């Protein structure tokens, strides 16, 4: 790739991915690599950032990066652990903090005549999260900023383009964090801001053409954002050689198979819709255990996909919508002195005998960037704004065993809820919403009759990545209207409840 790049060396901080996202927001391309597995070729990287870490530079679990080709040779920004590391091993001193240093703090001193702190003033809020503190700066250290409790909050090494900060510029609570990163990357390191959705599309299409040539590629579409954007990118690159398969597992939302298929065809994609509902429901019969259901759905998907892929002659490649968070190798915090590397590669579960090579055009970009790339290629905003929907679909929202009748009931309930959110302008304010069919019946009265029917739970959450989530305070009026509609219109349901649990400790799905 012929554009400026930034290298982020990861020491296992929970915030490392956030550093990458902030850098990308500056339209600068960056990559995260484990501190002990840096890329072999450093030439392309115009600047380096060291992340934070749960480890301490004191004691046994010190993580030692190899910086001989970096320090003094390339602009270097060390954050939190990185800042402590540079201090501790270069003539300074790090000791346990005597006061709590978590959360908000404000800069009480700033050396504004340094480019690093231009446009950032005393009083600016920063976010601290550390239990060690830098007591003495390293050799040639020059103090750049302090807070009330942390004197050495930022420093530089004179004679080098090396900067260090104790606080976290990558979190939103550090108000001028992005400015600080821009000061370092753009003004000091002179990294070009050339990473845009359009440039990504252009370079990725060229790379796919080169990699795949005239080979045929098969891709499983799910109706979700990632697989759709991946398909459109591939289609731009190889046109009719892309064969898409969209499987109806019988656990999709109401009418989703037909409507999404139509939408794909309207986009010019070569898509085969395969209605395998019966095959999935047969396989699921009598299974109540959530992991058992996931497994049955996964295995059946592979069987169906495999059957279909065999109909495409000479297919050589399998394309997937894997995105960067699935790919990043993070440094394990439990790894002890020689931290082990945990891999999250999501290379799918296709049987080996298919022997397909893998192409993953989105493997270096984050979810929000996938949406921006999709928008730049003219994909319908409604499709790009769809809530996440789990692979096993309604299968993990029907608690207990799955039957065609239960799927029908839940599809009706879900459609009323989701359409209601759209009609009332609430859909885009919610990160994910859906309905759960509970494995209990409750007593009710309808007319003069006593009923004994199903209970459904509605769930709507706000989140950024699904890792943590909170329930959404939907208007009472909306809940009342939706509950009435469901009970009046969906045969088999006589009670609606709303889930007001956060994650953690609850999860988003009920299974």
Instruction: Tell me the chain's radius of gyration from C-alpha atoms.
Output: 26
The backbone torsions φ and ψ at residue 486, rounded to the nearest 5 degrees and listed phi first, read -60, -50
Contact of 87 with 136, CB cutoff 8 Å = yes
Contacts of ligand XMP in 420-459 (CB under 6 A): 432
User: How far is the first Cα of the chain from the last one, in angstroms, to the nearest whole number?
Assistant: 42
Which of the stretches 111-119, 147-155, 209-217, 390-398 binds ligand XMP when contact is defined by CB under 6 A?
390-398
Has 224 been labeled as part of a binding site? yes
Residue 8 or 398: the one with the smaller Cβ distance to ligand XMP is: 398
Residue 235: active-site member: no
Question: x/- binding map, residues 292-321, to ligand XMP, per CB under 6 A?
Answer: --x---------------------------
Across the strands, what pairs with 453?
Answer: 442
Q: How far is the CB of 511 from ligand XMP (least distance, A)?
A: 8
Has 98 been labeled as part of a binding site? no
The backbone torsions φ and ψ at residue 284, rounded to the nearest 5 degrees and listed phi first, read -85, -10
Binding residue count for ligand XMP, defined by CB under 6 A? 12
Binding-site member from 12, 169, 390, 420 for ligand XMP (CB under 6 A): 390
Has 368 been labeled as part of a binding site? no
The reply to whether omega before 324 is within 30° of 0 (cis) is: no
Q: How far is the CB of 471 from ligand XMP (least distance, A)?
A: 12
Q: How far is the CB of 348 from ligand XMP (least distance, A)?
A: 12
Residue 51 or 222: the one with the smaller Cβ distance to ligand XMP is: 222
Residue 93 or 294: the one with the smaller Cβ distance to ligand XMP is: 294
Residue 130 or 367: the one with the smaller Cβ distance to ligand XMP is: 367
Confirm or reject binding of residue 485 to ligand XMP (CB under 6 A): no
Closest CA to 327 of 358, 365, 298, 359: 365
CA distance 399 to 439: 6
Binding-site member from 38, 82, 392, 420 for ligand XMP (CB under 6 A): 392
Confirm or reject binding of residue 503 to ligand XMP (CB under 6 A): yes
Confirm or reject binding of residue 249 to ligand XMP (CB under 6 A): no
Question: x/- binding map, residues 330-369, to ligand XMP, per CB under 6 A?
Answer: ----------------------------------------
Confirm or reject binding of residue 466 to ligand XMP (CB under 6 A): yes
Has 53 been labeled as part of a binding site? no
CA distance 410 to 397: 8
Residue 170: active-site member: yes
Q: What three-state secondary structure class fits 36?
A: coil
Using CB atoms within 10 Å of the CB of residue 22, give its burial: 0 to 12 exposed, 13 to 18 middle, 19+ buried.
buried
The backbone torsions φ and ψ at residue 481, rounded to the nearest 5 degrees and listed phi first, read -60, -45
Annotated catalytic residue, options 88, 101, 170, 308? 170
Count of Cβ atoms closer than 10 Å to residue 57 Cβ: 21
Confirm or reject binding of residue 400 to ligand XMP (CB under 6 A): no
Residue 345: active-site member: no
Has 222 been labeled as part of a binding site? yes
Confirm or reject binding of residue 391 to ligand XMP (CB under 6 A): yes
Has 228 been labeled as part of a binding site? yes
Residue 25 or 509: the one with the smaller Cβ distance to ligand XMP is: 509
Residue 114 or 499: the one with the smaller Cβ distance to ligand XMP is: 499
Residue 34 or 390: the one with the smaller Cβ distance to ligand XMP is: 390
Has 502 been labeled as part of a binding site? no
Annotated catalytic residue, options 88, 130, 168, 235? 168
CA distance 14 to 445: 51
CA distances from 377 to 90, 273, 326, 396, 453 (A): 49, 23, 23, 33, 47
Q: What residues contact 404, with CB distance under 8 A and at least 6 apart?
A: 250, 281
CA distance 445 to 468: 38
The CB-based long-range contact list for 313-316 (8 Å cut-off, 24+ gap) reads 313/216, 314/215, 314/216, 315/215, 315/216, 315/217, 315/218, 315/243, 315/356, 316/212, 316/215, 316/216, 316/217, 316/356, 316/357
b/e code 176-215 from CB counts within 10 Å (16+ = b): bbbbbbbbbbbebbebeeebebeebbeebbeebeeebeee
Question: x/- binding map, residues 258-297, to ligand XMP, per CB under 6 A?
Answer: ------------------------------------x---
Residue 211 or 386: the one with the smaller Cβ distance to ligand XMP is: 386
Which of the stretches 79-87, 124-132, 385-393, 474-482 binds ligand XMP when contact is defined by CB under 6 A?
385-393
Q: What three-state secondary structure class fits 267?
A: coil
Confirm or reject binding of residue 160 to ligand XMP (CB under 6 A): no
Q: Which residues are catalytic?
A: 80, 168, 170
Annotated binding-site residue numbers for ATP: 222-228
Chain positions contacting ligand XMP, by CB under 6 A: 294, 388, 390-392, 396, 432, 466, 503, 507-509
């Amino acid at each position: 790739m012929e554009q400026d790049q930034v290298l982020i060396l990861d020491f296992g901080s929970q915030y490392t991915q956030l550093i990458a996202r902030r850098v990308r927001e500056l339209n600068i391309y960056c990559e995260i690599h484990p501190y002990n597995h840096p890329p072999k070729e450093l030439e392309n990287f115009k600047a380096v950032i060291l992340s934070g870490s749960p480890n301490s530079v004191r004691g046994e679990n010190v993580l030692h990066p190899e910086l001989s080709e970096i320090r003094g040779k390339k602009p270097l920004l060390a954050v939190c652990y990185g800042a402590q590391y540079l201090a501790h091993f270069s003539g300074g001193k790090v000791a346990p903090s005597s006061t709590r240093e978590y959360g908000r703090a404000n800069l009480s001193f700033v050396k504004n005549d340094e480019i690093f702190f231009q446009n950032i003033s005393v009083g600016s809020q920063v976010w601290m999260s550390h239990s060690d503190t830098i007591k003495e700066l390293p050799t040639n250290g020059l103090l750049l900023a302090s807070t009330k409790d942390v004197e050495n909050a930022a420093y530089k090494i004179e004679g080098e383009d090396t900067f260090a900060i104790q606080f976290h510029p990558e979190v939103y609570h550090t108000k001028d964090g992005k400015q600080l990163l821009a000061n370092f990357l753009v003004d000091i390191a002179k990294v070009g801001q050339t990473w845009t959705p359009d440039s990504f599309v252009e370079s990725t299409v060229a790379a796919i053409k080169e990699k795949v040539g005239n080979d045929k590629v098969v891709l499983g579409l799910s109706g979700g954002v990632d697989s759709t954007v991946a398909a459109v990118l591939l289609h731009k690159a190889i046109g009719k050689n892309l064969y898409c398969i969209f499987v109806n597992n019988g656990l999709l939302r109401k009418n989703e198979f037909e409507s999404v298929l139509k939408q794909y065809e309207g986009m010019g994609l070569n898509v085969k819709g395969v209605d395998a509902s019966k095959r999935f429901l047969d396989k699921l019969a009598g299974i109540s255990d959530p992991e058992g259901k996931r497994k049955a759905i996964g295995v059946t998907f592979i069987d169906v996909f495999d059957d279909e892929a065999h109909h495409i002659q000479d297919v050589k490649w399998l394309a997937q919508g894997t995105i960067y968070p699935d790919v990043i190798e993070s440094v394990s915090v439990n790894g002890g002195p020689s931290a082990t590397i945990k891999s999250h590669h999501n290379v799918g579960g296709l049987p080996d005998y298919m022997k397909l090579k893998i192409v993953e055009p989105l493997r270096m970009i984050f979810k929000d960037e996938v949406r921006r790339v999709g928008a730049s290629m003219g994909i319908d905003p409604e499709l790009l704004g769809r809530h996440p929907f789990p692979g096993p679909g309604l299968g993990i929202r029907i608690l207990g065993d799955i039957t065609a009748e239960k799927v029908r009931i839940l599809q009706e309930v879900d459609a009323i809820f989701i359409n209601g959110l759209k009609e009332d302008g609430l859909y885009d304010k919610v990160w994910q919403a859906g309905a759960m069919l509970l494995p209990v019946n409750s007593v009710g009265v309808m007319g003069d009759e006593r009923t004994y029917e199903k209970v459904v739970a509605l769930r709507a959450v706000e989140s950024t990545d699904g890792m943590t989530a909170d329930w959404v305070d939907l208007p009472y009026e909306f809940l009342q209207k939706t509950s009435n509609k469901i009970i009046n219109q969906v045969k088999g349901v006589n009670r609606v409840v709303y889930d007001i649990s956060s994650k953690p400790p609850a999860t988003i799905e009920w299974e």
